[in-house]
Structure 1
């Protein structure tokens, strides 16, 4: 048993009428992915008189994971009444009020930072063990297969490939890439300082930066820095409009450099991108392909299972694009 669980249980046994102890246990169980158990402790905290923002926010999250959208929305609204300026709560309510094409270009940076700062310690365990997450390994395999097919990896044998890992998180993608391309020099960028602390431990990065990825891309252009590969593993779902992402990424790709990313697939009849109840964006294949062509990228797309969520496979795509000058007569994809 987890020592922290034992500590929290001891507190409850010593003072079974203290709502704060039940609240702490509910939050711990939520972070471990034990949603029904978490719900029991949180409801007990409420019965004992807790009426805090924290309680309603945690209840909103639990019901969201349990696919009870209406109950989740109700509790997030109560949380917002307690703290009207809380950005993450406002965004979630906005998403839960109705799945729709949103006007926001991306998830707010303050919301993303808050989500992943809180999640960092449990991030890898939850993804790998709870969601059967293998996207980093699959994406690296896809990249190597496509790049070898085009005989492009030979270029990297003569120089140290420079790689930019956008939204690097705890370094899962970089670890997989480094195992296959040991001579690569990888720069990681992420909004969350706590995720970067986990990434440092893997000892695979040349440099790490805490920054918004679009701002970082613009800064690299001003510095005249360029990369052989720009990768974004499970980062695109936090962006809606991808115009700026494509444009700024391609401006700092070396000649015949590569853009590589995963994205959650949207049926083309629903538009270019769409925000769903979990706050993540899905993008249509035709939208991604049109932006690739617009920015002189030529390559491949592969349908893949990205992870499991609530017992179901989440389908998505891998995109591999090579920076070239496309002639009007060329066939694209």
Structure 2
């Protein structure tokens, strides 16, 4: 028997429970992983907090992991090619990552770069694919100056790194305590709060080509609308209602177009991480048994880096 975390109902963190489960043998197109680290993301608890379709219950929690292949289905290769027992791998867009072992579709499994530890690898792809899509849909190009709301969060840090590779300048909103993080990854920090629009104007006399919102506050959206005239170049991952009302772009992993794009860039982003051009700051790791405490810390909104769950071995 293996251990995994599930949500038995919709609601707050009290509905999360650790249970024992049988991990099925892999069939054609599947591999089984011994999980060495499970990545943690706000989506892990937000889906449970806002859900209403009770046919989905119980919900297996967690979308990305890193680990070691322990079994391979017949005539099966992983997405990056090959795939043998003992190989170190990353799996993303899976279901039930908060676990000690998991059988997953081989098409979602990639070789783990040696340069990445398991905790970093397990936290690479959800944030990085989201960041990549934000830059893609707003058509950020070399020489552009863009505003990024929530620049010190996990998605923001990945946007900063990927925008720098494109050759764009990023002015990023953050709390003053997070300014050094924004600077570390190539951004120009600006404090959010009253007077934000004016401070952003002062930080970019050339104006802004695009606005990327990773926080979803009315303040962030209002500033984006005031600073960027082309609403096709404003994107949010956190304010879909405002996007509908005000005519700009909202994206999300559950949207078919977003899912297809994010799947298409996984190998590229892993390559960037393998070469050291895309890094994943880790704030803390927790034992798998302490997932609820880790989620409480994650939901504080200021973890200072990514969190990972580490199953005991």
- Do these two structures clear the TM 0.5 threshold for a shared fold by scoring above it? no
The TM-score with structure 1 as length reference comes to: 0.34
Higher relative contact order at CA 8 Å, sep ≥6: structure 1 or structure 2? 2
Structure with the bigger percentage of helix: 1
Which structure's CA Rg is the greater one?
1
- What TM-score, normalized by structure 2, do the two folds share? 0.36
Structure richer in strand, relative to its length: 2
